């Protein structure tokens, strides 16, 4: 099924669509269509490429857990004390 519709955007939103489309090498219509397509994906579909790259990397789940834990601790150490509590 193919259809056509028109949406009204304020200047800020229109500029954001045009700028993002240009940055991605798409038309504004193509960019908006890609947003709609992405919104209809399941979580599993979104994560499929990440899972494939993870599997291909050869990193174990334990190694990934350790890396995330280390990064989280380093990030929290940089936060002001009030935010950490």
pLDDT for residue 52: 94
Ordered by start, the domain boundaries in the chain are 1-40, 43-84
CATH number belonging to domain 1-40? 1.10.1220
pLDDT band at 80 (very low <50, low <70, confident <90, very high): confident
| DSSP states of 9-71 | --HHHHHHHHHHHHHHT--HHHHHHHHHHHHT--HHHHHHHHHHHHHHHT--HHHHHHHHHHH
10-62 residue pLDDT tens: 999 999 999 999 999 999 999 999 999 989 999 999 899 999 999 999 999 99
pLDDT band at 85 (very low <50, low <70, confident <90, very high): low
């Amino acid at each position: 099924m193919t259809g056509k519709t028109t949406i009204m955007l304020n200047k800020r939103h229109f500029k954001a669509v045009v700028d993002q489309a240009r940055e991605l090498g798409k038309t504004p219509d193509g960019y908006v269509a890609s947003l709609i397509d992405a919104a209809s994906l399941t979580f599993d579909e979104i994560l499929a490429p990440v899972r494939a790259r993870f599997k291909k990397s050869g990193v174990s789940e334990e190694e990934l857990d350790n890396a995330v834990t280390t990064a989280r601790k380093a990030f929290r150490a940089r936060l002001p004390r009030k935010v950490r509590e």
